[in-house]
Amino acid sequence: MQTSQEHQSSGGFHSLYHQPINQVEPHCYSSFQILNNNVCPDNGSQATHVSFQSCNEQYFTLDSAPATGCVAYDTPSALSISSNITPFSPQGSQSYLSDPHHSSDNNYGSPGSGSSGVDDDTELKHVLRALEFQLLGPESDIDDSCSSFKGAVDQAYSMEKLDVKQLLFSCAAALSDEDFPTAKRLMEVLESMVSVSGEPIQRLGAYMLEGLKARLYSSGSLIYNNLKCKEPTSPELMSYMHVLYQICPYYKFAYNSANVVILEAMANESRIHIIDFQIAQGSQWVSLIEVLGKRPGGPPYIHVTGVDDSQSIHARGGGLDLVGQRLSKVAASCGVPFEFHGAAISGCEVEVENLRVRRGVALAVNFPYVLHHMPDESVTTRNHRDRLLRLVKSLSPKVVVLVEQESNTNTAPFFPRFRETFDYYSAMFESIDAARPRDDKQRISAEQHCVARDIVNMIACEGEERVERHELFGKWRSRLMMAGFTPCPLSSSVSIAVQKVLKDYSKNYRVVERDGALHLGWKNRVMSTTSAWR
């Protein structure tokens, strides 16, 4: 397809990413409960590369976050951990938009600019010893071979110089080493340094601290079961999701990039079947239906199958029939022949018969921020992550779109996973901070109910209870190719659509096409990727 035709086919879509509140919401269905301290813790168009100047700005570094003068945070001792379906390293697994030498296949690349202030055992022992001195005095009986580190106490270490990042990493290292007394003392210090209404590092620190507490007391599952009934109401949760949708472009990136890919792949098809493995409210398909309704020569027949975990009913305020009714009304208003089928089951449970695939209908499959929730071979011998990819390949789809967070938390041990979680979400919290004031109650609620529980799940849970299991694009590429897929080059229209979205956001957001995928970044940190397959 020629470039001019590509722009024409998707041009109508470019202006449709703004939707009213009742038509737009992300795939975020998690909620994060904060209680008080009385509760026990627990086809192949030519790809166009987008270039830009290398960003000299560093990630938000915690060295710049003051350790004093912070808003006190009454750190809760109970929270909900097991995550519902939501969007959005080992040391140095970050991806870089501006580093041409950093391959997406390399899970252990160059360390980030937000690297730890306690990157080695010596520095960690310095910090722990200084804290011991501050908390218990010079006669404390810490047993960490202090004879070679007593000089640290005589140095310029003080509570003012021990920032939130250092303390979080020290606490996580103590937990990793099963040094529980030290971990508890560090948690006590952190409680006065973090705040859900503070700087990005303080807000992130508040939620990471709760993850550390829940891990210490091994109470994640118990807390989740006790607090299910205390989730926000459906209207409240929907409003939180809408706030997050508006203040950062991660969902719009997913919706717009995937829709342009599907529009181009289906340009000459008269019968189209879309399988969405995280349908949410179906908002992604409103714009697509409207664009296809204006197709020269008449609109195609569209069949949408929405796969959805039953737990998402709460966020919608009803079952998948609500999604079908809504999309049917949109299609009718556009004169588009339409059919909807809801599969109210988890992606892990999906079989071919659940999808109602028909011969002679061009098939598109959408995986928006959802495949990382499928347990892989490290969790279960059934390996639903690869099983689902093989199942989709057996359906012979014309195009498959994968959108995922660019992070490495799947199989990493606890401490490297903690560091990766910190690095990724410090960039995310900084990006959110650029859009709303720090004391904005809507922003606080959106972070608590749509972001924080994912963070806690990655820190506090293991095995089947840990459902937030992200992988880097290089790993996703290997999985897809092993399942028999081949990459589809992305046309320039995909990047153009995303660039138009980013005009409404901070200039620190960047987008670049590399290694067959479109990368969305905050400054020099890649946050999400979109890729197409067949």
SS3 state of residue 237: helix
Parent domain of 437: 162-228+407-469
Indicate whether 188 pLDDT > 60.
yes
Write the pLDDT tens digit of every residue in 18-39: 343 344 343 333 333 333 333 3
Query: pLDDT class for 54, splitting at 50, 70, 90?
Result: very low
How would residue 284 be classed by pLDDT, with cut points 50, 70 and 90? very high
Q: Do 254 and 321 fall within a single domain?
A: yes
Domain with residue 375: its CATH number is 3.40.50.150
Domain count, the chain: 2
Mean pLDDT of 436-462: 91
Intra-chain end-to-end CA distance of the chain, in Å: 17
| Over residues 112-135, mean pLDDT | 51
Shared domain for 361 and 443, answered yes or no, is no
Q: Are 164 and 193 in contact (CB under 8 A)?
A: yes
Q: Are 224 and 299 found together in one domain?
A: no
Q: Could you report the per-residue pLDDT of 454-468, keeping only the tens digit for each?
A: 999 999 999 999 999
Q: Look at residue 128 in the predicted model and tell me its pLDDT.
A: 60
In a domain, 22, yes or no: no
Least reliable range by pLDDT among 113-122, 239-248, 407-416: 113-122
Does residue 117 carry a pLDDT above 50? no
Decide which of 417, 448, 469 is a domain's last residue: 469
pLDDT at 4 over 80: no
The residue among 266, 275, 255 whose CA lies nearest residue 368 is: 255
> Quick one: DSSP state of residue 230?
G
Q: 302 and 393: one domain?
A: yes
Q: Is-contact 214 42, C-beta < 8 A?
A: yes
**What is the predicted pLDDT for the residue at 453?**
86
Q: What is the 3-state secondary structure (H, E, C) of 39-105?
A: CCCCCCCCECCCCCCCCCCCCCCHHHCCCCCCCCCCCCCCCCCCCCCCCCCCCCCCCCCCCCCCCCC
Give yes or no for residue 200 having a pLDDT over 90. yes
HEC-encoded secondary structure of 466-525:
CCCCCCCHHHHHHHHHHCCCCEECCEHHHHHHHHHHHCCCCCCEEEEEECCEEEEEECCE
In a domain, 187, yes or no: yes
Q: What is the pLDDT of residue 476?
A: 98
Handedness of CA 509, 513, 514, 518 (dihedral sign): positive
Give a yes or no: residue 72 inside a domain: no
Nearest residue to 418 via CA among 193, 169, 175, 209 = 169
Of 450, 464, 272, the closest CA to residue 361 belongs to 272
Report which of residues 153 and 255 the model is more confident about: 255
Within a domain: residue 50? no
Lowest mean pLDDT among 4-13, 216-225, 411-420: 4-13
| DSSP 8-state secondary structure symbol assigned to residue 118 | T
Q: ∠ at Cα 487 (353, 388), nearest 5°?
A: 25
Per-residue pLDDT at 247 exceeds 80 = yes
pLDDT score at 317: 79
Mean pLDDT of the chain: 77
How far apart CA 208 and CA 204 sit, in angstroms, is 6
For residue 303, tell me if it sits in a domain. Answer: yes
- The mean pLDDT of 358-366, rounded to a whole number, is 96
- Section 479-488 average pLDDT: 98
Separation between Cα atoms, residue 483 and residue 533, nearest integer Å? 11
Mean pLDDT across 137-160? 41
Neighbouring residues of 452: CB distance < 8 A, sequence distance ≥ 6: 32, 79, 207, 210
Q: 363 and 483 share a domain?
A: yes
**What is the mean predicted confidence (pLDDT) over 381-399?**
96
On whether both 310 and 378 belong to a single domain, the answer is yes
170 shares its domain with 293: no
CA atoms 185, 187, 191, 194: torsion sign: positive
The residue with greater pLDDT, 336 or 221, is 336
pLDDT-derived band at 315 (thresholds 50, 70, 90) equals confident
In this predicted structure, the answer to whether residue 230 has a pLDDT above a threshold of 50 is yes
Domain shared by 378 and 431, yes or no: no
Asked if residue 150 is part of any domain, the answer here is: no
Both 444 and 297 in a single domain? no
Q: How many helices (H) and strands (E) does the chain have?
A: 18, 9
The residue whose two tokens read 């790993």 is 475
Residue 131 lies in a domain: no
Flag whether pLDDT at 144 surpasses 90: no
Q: Within this chain, do residues 222 and 311 fall inside the same structural domain, yes or no? A: no
Say whether both 206 and 330 belong to one domain: no
In a domain, 378, yes or no: yes
Q: Does one domain contain both 365 and 478?
A: yes
Domain end (from 469, 497, 521): 469
Domain end position, chosen among 426, 451, 469: 469
pLDDT at position 12 over 90? no
